[in-house]
Amino acid sequence: VKEKMNKVLYIILISLISFTVISCGEKDESTSTTTSTLDPPTTATATGGYYQVELDWSDVSGATGYTIYWSTSTGVSSSSTAITGITDSNYTHTGLDDGTTYYYKGATVNSAGTGSLSSEVNAIPRDATTVTEGCTGKETASGTVQGVTRTGPSGT
């Protein structure tokens, strides 16, 4: 009886050792690499132009794109109007109203999603460059002016 008991214990011991070795050798497939969103772009600038605003910011390593949020009032948030699909570190927002202040914040985009927003910048689009009117000519000894040419928006 003692011999049979030893054989049973031996078999149980071998089974436990085998189970432990097999369990330790299994690969944990649940481990995965995680990606997190990136920091927002920095050193952003906004420059008003002819019915447009030119936006520039520093490149962010790892970004696959950028989203710009904008509004005509301060306090831009991720609920503001978004411009998506931007792949460069600059963008020209066109078709804007002359004299209206536009406010902007940018965010980086990668496989984890859209990151936090940058500091707010603003600019005012302007109409065509202002041309100063003037006249040119030559004053004679008698005080009259000859060869007057008018320059400016109204033509010559």
Q: Which pLDDT tens digit goes with each residue over 105-118?
A: 999 999 999 999 99
Residues listed for the chain: 156
**Which pLDDT tens digit goes with each residue over 36-95?**
888 888 878 999 999 999 999 999 999 999 999 999 999 999 999 999 999 999 999 999
pLDDT confidence bin for 149, thresholds 50/70/90: low
Question: Residue 156: what pLDDT?
Answer: 43
Q: With respect to residue 128, please indicate whether it lies within any of the assigned structural domains.
A: no
Q: With respect to residue 100, please indicate whether it lies within any of the assigned structural domains.
A: yes
Q: With respect to residue 145, please indicate whether it lies within any of the assigned structural domains.
A: no
CA-atom Rg of the chain in angstroms: 36
Q: Which of 25, 22, 24, 4 is nearest to 14 (CA)?
A: 22
Q: With respect to residue 119, please indicate whether it lies within any of the assigned structural domains.
A: yes
DSSP β-bridge partners for residue 136: 149
Write the CA distances from 145 to 28, 141, 150, 151, integer angstroms: 95, 9, 13, 16
Supply the CATH number for residue 95's domain.
Answer: 2.60.40.10
Domain boundaries, position 103: 45-123
Angle at 94 between CA 116 and CA 123, to 5 degrees: 60
Write the CA distances from 114 to 33, 37, 48, integer angstroms: 18, 6, 26
Q: With respect to residue 28, please indicate whether it lies within any of the assigned structural domains.
A: no
From CA 93, how far away is CA 70, in angstroms rounded? 10
Write the CA distances from 59 to 36, 39, 113, 115, integer angstroms: 17, 11, 17, 14
Q: Which residue has the higher pLDDT, 54 or 145?
A: 54
Q: With respect to residue 89, please indicate whether it lies within any of the assigned structural domains.
A: yes
How many domains are contained in the chain?
1
Q: With respect to residue 27, please indicate whether it lies within any of the assigned structural domains.
A: no
Question: Residue 91: what pLDDT?
Answer: 97
Range from 27-36, 38-47, 140-149 that averages highest in pLDDT:
38-47
- Buried b / exposed e across 130-156, counting CB within 10 Å, b at 16+? eeeeeeeeeeeeeeeeeeeeeeeeeee
Question: Residue 109: what pLDDT?
Answer: 95
From CA 125, how far away is CA 64, in angstroms rounded? 29
